[in-house]
Every structure is written in C-alpha cells, then in structure tokens.
Chains A and B, each alone.
Chain A
Amino acid sequence: MIKKQLLRAAAFVLLAAMMLGLIGSALCRPASAMSALYNEPEDSLDVIVVGGSHVNSGVVPAILWDEYGISAHNVFGWDQTIWVGYHFIKETFRTQSPQVVVVDLYGMCYNNSIEPARKVDELNYDNNYLLRPGLNQLELWLSAALVGEDRRNPLSFLPMVRFHSRWKNAGAAFQEELDTLPVAAHTKGFSVLGQVSPHTRVEWDPALPAAAPYEGCERYLNKIVDYVQAQGAQLVFTMLPYECQPTEPAIFNWLQQYADSHSIPFLNYCGPMADEIGLDYSRHLADFEHLNHYGAQLVTRHLGDYLAGHYSFPAREAHHNLAQLDADAQKTLRLLAVNDMPDNLTDFAAWCSQHPGTRVFVSASKNTYISPEVAAMLQPLGLAGFGEGQAYYAVWADGTAEQALGSEAKRLDLTIGQFEIALDGEGNIAANDRLIRQGSGVQIMLYDDLLEKPTFHTDVHPMTGALNWADCYFA
C-alpha cells in the first residue's frame, strides 16, 4: 500500500517538476548571444574569440573570413567573467573544434575595475541562461554562485525562480523582446557600434609591480589554459582597447608574466600595441570601454594578421559551409559599409547614390512647417510641393521613386522590402514592424535590401535640414 502511495507521490513530484521546468523555460528572458553559435554547423569554426562586450564590439569575424579565410565566432556574454568564459569555451567545444581560442582578458580585472564586482556578478547571472540545459550549465550555475563576490544560492538561478515575474511580459511585450535581440546570426557575435566618442589612452609603465587578480579569476584562467590545451587547441590572450583604470595596468603586468610563463601570446591592445596598429583613442572608441566599428576593423585586421602569420588554418575552399560563410560575411561587411551617415540633407542625396540597395522612406506630417531651403533639399527625395497642408510620403530605391508619391488622408499601410510601416493619414508614422520609429514631422528611414532590415532612421530639422541618425541594428 505504502509502496503504491509513494510511487504515486513520486509521479506527482515528477509531473510538477516537469511543469515548472516548462513554465520556467517559457518565461526565461530570450537571449541571442549563444544561439548564433549553436546555429553554426558542427566543426565549422577555426577560431573562437571569448570575452565580454569588448569582444562583441571589438572583433569582426566577417573581416577574418573575408580577408584571411578564417572562420571565426565571438563567444561572448555581457560583462563575461573569466569563470563564465571557461564554461562558454567548454560549451563551444561540444560542437566545434577550433584550432585557436582567443581569450580577451578584461574579465581578469574583476573586482579591480570601474564596475563594482557585485554589479558584474548580477549582469553575469543572465549569462547562465545562454547555455543549453546540461551538466555544463549546472556547473556554470555553481561557479556563478560560488566564485564571485555576490554569493547566491544556486537554486535562485532556476529559471522559474529568476524569471517568474516576467509573466507580465507574456503576449505582445514578449514578442517585442524577441524582436529586439541584439545580435543577428550572420554577424557571428559581433555588434556594430557606429558612434565616435573621444577618449584618452591611459599611459602605463610596463615596469609597474604586477598585482595579482581576483583569486577566482586566476583559478579559472588556469582552468581555461588546462582545458584548451587538453583539447589540443592553441590559446591567444588579448586585451581589447578601452580606457583602463589606474588599478588595472598592474594586473596587465601580472597577465603578461602569466602569459610568458605559459608561453601564450598576449596581444595587449591597451598598451603600446595600440600605437603600432594606429589606434587613436580620439576616433576609435564608441564609449570609454568599447571600440566603435572603425576601431574594431583596425584591431580585427591586426588580429587576423597575427593569426594568419602564426597558425595554419584550412584553405577557404575546405570549409564545408563556404557559401554560408560568404553570405554572412557580405551581410556584416554591408553593415560596416552603410555606417557613415551624413549629417545634412544635401550630402544625404549623394550618399544614397553611393549606396545602391538602400531604400529610402520619407514622410512628412500634415501642417509641419519647414523652411523653403529645407523644402528645396527635400525635393530630390520626392517631397516636392511640401508645405501645402498635406501629408506626404515617398519610397525611393536607387534614385527612383519606387512607390508613388502620395498624400493620402487615410491610414496607409506600406511594405518596404520585408518591412511594414503604417501612416495615420496625417503623415505621422503610426506603427511599424518593431516600433522602431513613431511620431510626426519630417522623417527618414532606410531599409537595406541585402540585410533585409531597416538600418537607420532620423528626423529632419525643419529649419536647417540637419539629420540626427539612429541605428536600427537591434531591431
């Protein structure tokens, strides 16, 4: 009798656990950082670049493929700590056999950098859910709970516990989150940062006494070295450029000593190497800790030279996913190419002619006042006759009006490539696929045929014609 009752109880517990597991995974915050890696065909990568957001914005795998024939992928997670990096490397080796593992060592500055350690831990907890369920993920949870400063009960990482409050995001808001994932698969873990933010490089003395990093970092760096060597792969350390803190150069020196003692190359782009590659902190940073895409291209080319010069990779044609690699690289390179947006209407007309494959959507709200000069500038964009109290829109492709210039006094649904946009009859953008832009006045949105997505949008200053672009990469 008791046996039967216990079996029944066990069945109920199992059922409840399955139900909670399913609900937990459904409520889990969607993230794309590792999903792109999971989509890579097995054994298709020559190099992986492991690190945090510095890697995400600082290394362009498309350039490594296009110029060096190296199939690479950035294995990153926001603010990735070294112990999270270790588990990401292990996860990668489940399906890939890269010859070279490039590890960016910014995570070694944990507890010595500008970011408080507990904040880094809190951000990293989201990285726990980037891995597929399995032993490695459980190990990551344990590492996350036991290594950092912010010790948490590993049970608090159960998706049900961590994400249950997201029930409010169900439905439309949930879909919106899915639509705004930051990394497209073709970029292979790279995100374009277009802005230029001038900063100063911190000069540091290589003779500065070395300072040991956080204990957990050293322990997990050793684990990475042991693991990668056990897999028969080569390690390369990097320190991608950022405006470092006064406490950090001493750690760099420790890292240099560590790399030397383990015979691992260390490309420290925060040091004099930045000058060697022509990195200019006044032009190549998007903010104090991330490269913009100009800086990323410089660093990637140097890294590509180094990898191609020191290791032998399979020939380009030997890659079994050659066509996909080419297509993905072209898309990412296109992203880089369409990034220099002019800041006024006159130059914008010229820009359009230099970038075939871009469709330009222009709309103007009814009764929007603009100066005659700006009205004249808008003429080449199909808004002639503007200012008569009518709403206008136009879609241009390669210098030709693709959709008729119109002044509809009713809601209008347009399709630009694969992008849907609605005007409310007053010329205001009422809705579009991912709510990239709504509002009134004169507005421009660009749609790229190769990327099959909108790339930039701006409003037009009614008096000067000045443009204020924002990117749609995350849309």
Chain B
Amino acid sequence: MFFTSLSFLLYLVAGVLVYWLLPHKVRWWFLLAFSIVYYYSIGKKLIVFVALAAGVTWAAGLALEKLLAGEKAALAKAKADGADRAARSAVKAKWLVRRRLVIAGFVAIVLGMLLFFKFYNMFAQLMQAYFTLPLWKRAMPLGISFYTLMLVSYVMDVHTGRIKAEHNPFKVALFTIWFPQVIQGPIGRWGQLAPELFGEKKFDYDRFVLGWQRMLWGYFRKLVVADRFSILVNTVFDNHTEYSGFVVLFATFFYVVQLYCDFAGGIDIALGAAELFGVKMAENFNLPFASQSVSEFWRRWHITLGSFLRDHIFYPLTLSKPFAKLGKALQKPFGRNIAKMLPGYLAMFILWFCSGVWHGEGWHYVAYGMYHGTLIVMGMCAEQVSPKVYAKLGIAADSKSLALFRTLRTCVLVGIGEIIFRAETTAAAMQMLRSAVTVWNPWVLFDGTLLTLGLDGADLTVGLLATIVVFAASSLSKRCESPLREVIYRQELPIRWFILLLGIAVVCIFGVYGPAYDATPFVYYQF
C-alpha cells in the first residue's frame, strides 16, 4: 500500500470519511490504528521495531521529565537551605549526569537499532577476514532513518525543557508511526506536530480540497516526471562504464530532476494526505533550485533534516566546551578571527559527515556529505571576500546576471554531488565524473543516442514538458507569493474544475504506473 497504489487511495478515502465522522476524543486513536494498518501493509512484522523505538522514547521522556522535576526540587531545596552557587552547580551537574545516562540508554537502543540495520551487514562483511558473523537477511524497518531522528529530537527537546514529556505512550506511538511521514518524512518535531495530531479540529472544506490538490501535484511530480526519468537514469547509472560525455551529463540532469520530483512529490502526497485529516506538517522544500549558493540550497532542500542536524549536531557542537577550548587554543597560531571560525567549520564537516552516514552504508554517501560540507565551508570563506571582489570587478552584488550565474553555478555543483549520491560506489562516481568532462560528444544529443536509453521520443517529450510545467509552476508560485494550488483554488469553479480534471487526466494517462511499468519505489524509501 505505497502512496502510488490505488489501494492506498481507497484506504485513504475510507479513512478520511471515518475520521471526520468520529467524535474528537477518539480521532487520534483512529489515526493510530489507521497508521498501524498502513505501516503493517508495507513493513509487516518489522513494525515491532517501530513499537520498540516508540516505547523506549516514551519511557526516556518520562524518565527525563522526572529527573528534571527532581533537579528542580533539589535546586529549590538547596536554595532554601542557603546553598551557594557552587553547591547549586554541583546539584545541577549531578542531575545532568543522570539525565545523560537516560539519554545514553535511549541512544543506545533507538540509535543503536538504526546503526544496526544500516551498518551491521557492512560491518559483518568487513570483519569476514577475522571472524564470521551471520548476515541480517531481512529488510530494515521502513522509515527507520526518519522516525529515529524524530524520536531523538523528541527526547532532546524534553531534555532541554523545550517540551513536556508525553505521558500517554499511544500518543508517542502515533507521533512515531503517523502514516504520511513515517516512511520518508518530513522529520516532524513534537512541538509542531503534537498539537496538530491531538488538538481539536473542525472540518475545513477549503483545507480538505487543498489537501487533495497538493496530493495531485505530488502524483504529477512523482508519476509523470520522476518515474519516467528513472528509466533513463537507471539505464545510464547502472551501466555507467558504457556511457560517457554528454550522455552522462544528460542523465545527471535527469537524475537531479528525478530526485527532486520524487522526493518533493512524495512530500506533497504526504502533506496533502495529512491535510485531509486537518493535520499540517512541516514543509520540506522551498524552491531549492532558485538557490544562489549551496548553503542556501540546503536551507531549501530537505529542510527538516537540515534543521534537525543544525539543532542537534551543529549548535550543540559549536556551543560545547571542547569546541570552545579548541577556539581558544587556535587563537594563538591563527589569530582571533580565524580561530573563531575554525571550530564552526569543523562542526560543519561533522554535520555533513553525519548527513552522509545517515543516508546509508556506502562510502559514496560519506563522500557526498563531505563534498557538500566542503562546498559550504568554501562558500562561508568566499563570503568574506566576495563583496570586495565584486566591488573591484565593478559587479553589482544585486545584479540579475550575477544572481543567474550564482543559481546556475549552484545547480551545477549540486548536480556533481548527485552523481556521487546516485552512483553505486565512489569509484563509479569518479569514473562518471571523469568521463563526463573528458569526452566531447555533443552529437549524442541529436543522433538518436538518447532514444536508446530506455525512453522513446514520446516519453522523453512528455517528461521534458512535464519538467517545464514543474519549474514553471514553482516560478509562478514565487511570483504569486503563494502556492499555486491556492491560486488555482481562488479561481472560478469552472476554471478550477477544468484545471483539476486536466491534472487528473494527465497523471492518469501519462503517469508511469500499472502493469505496463515496474513500480518505482520512492528514492527516499530506502533511507
């Protein structure tokens, strides 16, 4: 029952009907049952790992809350007893150690499960030379990378006092397994999602219709664009030694489009489906290809992962004592300004290393993370000098041509990163990059070679036209300063219905689904 199956749509319609007929108090229970059935239909017995993770998170949250209360009481008592600052700090430190122990236990179990499923087989194969470990032959729980981060953020937010721990384990369970996001995000935060899931809601017809529209747009991006291009992309990337030069560049362009439409399309379906139940979830994309720098790109692409990494890795690292010490130690050899920035750069590299590792086993993911870390650090360095360079060259910093150049440059840099991301191995990525820049064969764009990559002329035309529609729609929403679906929704009924019926027809006719095609899973399902 994947998002792209008809069974899912029927299940969703039935679920929405029942949900709005139920009294408010039991609605979230229904959502829990609905989400469990959905997850079980795909993940089967591996659902026990989701339950285990949710249970451990709930318990960790309660323990942390208890410890926070204990700390508060101990501090109050110390204050009443006239304890001095040092004594109060000692009390604080004692309770902090206890909380850290709880967090360590939580991390060991929940993050341990993630690491086990992602890296155990890689580890077992590496260790084969020394001893034999049995391989884990079953799939990993779907969405483990996403729900694990959500649970980590929940526990860390309880730990820092940003949110209160939830006492009802089933509410934590729903937060974990909430069907639109459990498999490929967005990575929701308790503070944002819980009020949406458990708060009282009234049926809002406008929101309901907009939810369906968003889903339709998601299906368009996923089925008409992403899955169509996946055929061509797979042909080239899976047989990369047979292709070079412009074919690789061409396939890379389509991979970037595919990945964007696949992931953003999936998120549209998820957010649209959530809206049908009156639940608003965090946005994950904001016109990433309009970015003028790689760091801006990452603020617009997979936004929830970026904010998770920033809040739970970057800030804690840069504010930590070792990093403060490092900054001080670097002052002498490098001077104050550089010493101030170097720990930040180091934290950035660590963040991107974690991002690479999060994507899965394979050194190419690590290389992908480090590539982006390097680009962002270089960008941070360049930011210091670029205003002076522009001034010297007489280029207006706000000129349109410079903006266009920077956007194109960002797209090219991101494209190179996607080769590393998509290739089977780092060596394959290097080979493809090498062949892309060393072989000059522009004629392949016109001599029919492109039609031998799995898509015929008609499919290629439909895919390209659909790509234009996707990017034109993004540009139009930017200009209208509101999502296109809202612009459509404001139109007169006949125009609105015509556009929607046309959209449905286009997705149903030109979508890549059904027995004539092999179903292409969402790219981010594997993470």
Contacts and interface: CB of A to CB of B under 8 A. Distances in A.
B505 A153 contact: no
B514 A162 contact: yes
A153 B459 CA distance: 27
B510 A20 contact: no
B501 A15 contact: yes
Contacts of A5: 205
B500 interface: yes
Interface stretch (A63-71, A95-103, A163-171): A163-171
Given A5-B205, A167-B509, A153 B514 contact: no
A12 B497 contact: yes
Nearest to A166: B516
B223 to A, nearest CB: 10
Contact of B505 (A19, A158, A165): A19
Contacts of B333: none
Sort chain A's interface into a size bin: 20 to 34
Nearest to B206: A5
Contacts of B515: 125, 156, 161-162
Contacts of A163: 516
Interface centre among B459, B500, B509, B517 (most CB of A within 10 A): B509
Nearest to B507: A164
Interface string A22-38: 01000100000000000
B504 A16 contact: yes
Contact of B497 (A15, A20, A158): A15
Contact of A20 (B458, B459, B508): B508
Contacts of B456: 168
Contact of A165 (B7, B501, B517): B517
Interface in B482-527: 497, 500-501, 504-505, 508-511, 513-517
A160 interface: yes
B505 A156 contact: no
Contacts of B500: 12, 16
B439 interface: no
B10 A155 contact: yes
Contact of B504 (A20, A153, A168): A20
B501 to A, nearest CB: 6
B501 A19 contact: yes
Contacts of B508: 20, 23, 160, 164
B136 interface: no
Contacts, number: 57
A278 to B, nearest CB: 45
A160 B220 CA distance: 16
Interface string A133-167: 00000000000000000000101101011111101
Given A12-B497, A153-B7, A162-B515, A23 B505 contact: yes
B209 A9 contact: yes
A15 B517 CA distance: 27
A156 B501 CA distance: 21
A155 B462 CA distance: 26
Nearest to A125: B515
A164 B224 CA distance: 12
A2 interface: yes
B6 interface: yes
A125 B203 CA distance: 42
A66 B330 CA distance: 106
B224 to A, nearest CB: 11
Nearest to B456: A168
A2 B459 CA distance: 42
A62 B349 CA distance: 83
Interface string A2-15: 10010001001001
B514 A164 contact: yes
Sort chain B's interface into a size bin: 20 to 34
B6 A156 contact: yes
A20 B502 CA distance: 11
A41 B159 CA distance: 81
Contacts of A12: 497, 500
B516 A165 contact: yes
B501 A2 contact: no
Contacts of A20: 504-505, 508
A153 B508 CA distance: 18
Contacts of A162: 514-516
Contacts of A19: 501, 504-505
A205 to B, nearest CB: 42
Given A2-B205, A19-B501, A164 B511 contact: yes
A9 B509 CA distance: 22
A156 B209 contact: no
Interface string B439-466: 0000000000000000010110000000
Interface in A298-356: none
A163 B516 CA distance: 8
Interface in B383-414: none
Nearest to A161: B514
A20 B203 CA distance: 28
Nearest to B511: A164
Given A5-B205, A20-B504, A156-B514, A164 B6 contact: no
Contacts of B5: 153
Contact of B7 (A9, A155, A160): A155
Nearest to A13: B13
Nearest to A17: B504
A5 B513 CA distance: 32
Contacts of B504: 16, 19-20
A161 B511 CA distance: 10
Interface centre among B7, B497, B508 (most CB of A within 10 A): B508
Given A2-B203, A16-B504, A165-B517, A23 B509 contact: yes
B513 A161 contact: yes
Contacts of A125: 515
A404 B162 CA distance: 98
A15 B502 CA distance: 12
Given A2-B203, A153-B6, A156-B6, A164 B501 contact: no
Interface string A458-469: 000000000000
A23 B501 CA distance: 12
A36 to B, nearest CB: 27
A155 B510 contact: no
A96 to B, nearest CB: 32
Nearest to B9: A155
Contacts of B458: 168
Contacts of B510: 164, 167
A14 B239 CA distance: 46
A336 B505 CA distance: 47
Contacts of B513: 161, 164
A161 B6 contact: yes
Nearest to B462: A167
Contacts of B516: 162-165
Nearest to A27: B509
A23 B502 CA distance: 12
A165 B514 contact: yes
Nearest to A157: B515
Contacts of B509: 23, 27, 164, 167
A428 to B, nearest CB: 25
Contacts of A27: 509
Contacts of A16: 500-501, 504
Contacts of A153: 5-7
Closest 7 CB pairs of A and B: A165-B516, A155-B6, A5-B205, A161-B514, A168-B458, A167-B509, A164-B509
22 contacts: A2-B203, A9-B205, A16-B501, A16-B504, A19-B504, A19-B505, A153-B6, A155-B6, A155-B10, A156-B6, A156-B514, A156-B515, A161-B513, A161-B514, A162-B515, A162-B516, A164-B509, A164-B511, A165-B514, A165-B516, A167-B509, A168-B458
Given A12-B497, A16-B500, A161-B513, 10 more contacts: A9-B209, A16-B504, A19-B501, A23-B509, A153-B5, A153-B7, A155-B10, A162-B516, A163-B516, A167-B510
